[in-house]
Structure 1
């Protein structure tokens, strides 16, 4: 497989990504990804002091970050960075989170998924979930080589990445036993979910308007709104879920997490939720922000209990 690495140079402007080989970054697909069409768009990295973001993803990848074998717990987490389905907050909600997980013996796989707001998609809304499913299958396929228990692989998402993670957790499939590609025969069901200030619903008055527009378009049908309102898609087979949100989130209403939590309980799915009175939106690891910083320790304890 071809491998990709994000450039280490710092820029304060947008630039087209130039990515040399790296054995830790794997392409999701050997050839063109499904739902892909040729366009003139190219992947863009925007590196500023406050953010490092990727947009117009053309080749979806996973970056595999493993703890030392002697400290590995066997758990793994596929990380879906946020960014309103317009960009990926790759460092803040990807690399930093992976480092925190690795420090506790948990493998971290950062997903660089395609984004719907891109002319390279045939049907824009389909690409993010296709990539998330493929990432889960690849981690499970490589579990032995990466010292991972194939029954302890979860997904973690931030903001719009939380919507992608919760879509994977409610709309997974068990694999196609007749598929020619052996990877596609593997289940895409995550064993657990971690949803950080997530977009859950596409319903007006609850959703994040930018994420909804980028994923479903300007005027989506009621059927699409319902399909991608993940609080409505929970079943008894939805994996156990850990949620974190702040009550003063001005971008993604806390109602998203509350509705999802209540629906999990209604379907007898194990759930744990931590609501903080402050924090706003997009706080990442929340280092130096008082009690809010404790969410990662609580989360890691919860992961290890599964």
Structure 2
């Protein structure tokens, strides 16, 4: 019994040592910040829901070195740019990726409606760009291959992921330290029931309003319609959606797929007939829950 107790203690310490939470920005160096009395709110109901993010972080999940395959994913939870479904589309996803030998960093990013943000639409992308740079800057310590580092996002987090993958020509903030010398282009994108377009005919109106405001300019609407920003240098992409999604129309994914195909970007897309919106890993949802196997196959093929 004593031997088993020591063994379980060792296993517990080993597992906990593989998870760490890091502040994205050094103290006093966060860009696009203004003073406010706003406080971060964490609702620990069925889904851990975070709003009014004040201290953006990167929660790192590192698989054991023996099983690490070198891949890493920056995970962007969704929430309509109003909040973050932090465990449902964040930490639970990171644990799944770890089980496949893939490192993950869950991004707790600032939301555009925060009173602590100056230019609303820039804040999420600034945090995402910093997040992928942090993963690359620590690649050696975390058993990551810098050339196998992608981004994954759900719903509005899918919009953020696709923004990172189509707006990498320049950083949205000035460099503050050595980490910012790292590349911001992801090597691949994973877009799960993503918001893609700001076109009012197909967008998720809440995400659009929260990110761009009620009356954005035509130029800003086009800039953040990411199907219009695809080029031949856009990263390889995996797309997943359900046809009966009545929150984010499947047309978002169809437009992105079409744009990627037109620019000869390697893309795999899976459209399920049912599933609705916000199903995460779809546990217990019959054959829909096998979507993660399709993703695992695709990721293995990238290697």
Write out aligned runs for 1:288-299 (5 A): 288-299=284-295
Match in the other structure for 1:134:
130
User: Counterpart in 2 of 1:41?
Assistant: 38
1:63 is matched with 59
Task: Give distance in 2, aligned partners of 1:260 and 1:179.
Answer: 31
Q: Distance in 1 between matches of 2:168 and 2:77?
A: 19
Q: Which runs of 5+ in 1 are unaligned?
A: 1-21
- Aligned match for 2:94, one of 89, 95, 98: 98
1:49-108 Cα deviation digits (max 9, x unpaired)? x21111100111100001111000110000000000000000100111111111111111
Corresponding residue number in structure 2 for 1:26: 22
Query: What do residues 99-129 of structure 1 show as CA deviations (whole Å, max 9, x unaligned)?
Result: 1111111111100000001110000110000
**Change in 2 beyond 3 A, CA 1:283/1:149:** same
Which of 101, 115, 120 pairs up with 2:116? 120
Moved more, 138-147 or 288-297: 288-297
CA deviations over 1:254-286 (Å, ceiling 9, x no partner): 000000001000001000000000000000000
TM-score, normalized by length of structure 2? 0.91
1:215-245 superposed Cα distances (whole Å, 9 cap, x missing partner): 0001111111000000000001100000000
Of residues 202, 217, 222, the one that matches 1:221 is 217
Cα distance in 2, alignment partners of residues 63 and 85 from structure 1: 19
Match of 1:202 among 195, 198, 201: 198
Show the counterpart of 2:8.
none
SS in 2 for 1:194: strand
Are residue 152 (structure 1) and residue 138 (structure 2) matched?
Answer: no
Aligned length: 283
For 1:303 and 1:40, how far apart are their aligned partners in 2?
43
Equivalent pair of 1:174/1:186 in contact (CA under 8 Å): no
Normalised to the residue count of structure 1, the TM-score between the two structures is: 0.90
Which of the two has higher C-alpha Rg? 2
Unaligned runs of 5+ in 2: 1-17
Any idea what SS the aligned residue of 1:252 has? Answer: coil
Give how far 1:179 is off: 4.6
Q: Which runs of 4+ in 1 moved over 4 A?
A: none
In proportion to residue count, which structure has more helix? Answer: 2
Alpha carbons 1:201, 1:231 under 8 Å: kept: yes
Contact 1:175 1:186 survives alignment (8 Å): no
Check the 8 A contact 1:82/1:162 in 2, yes or no.
Answer: yes
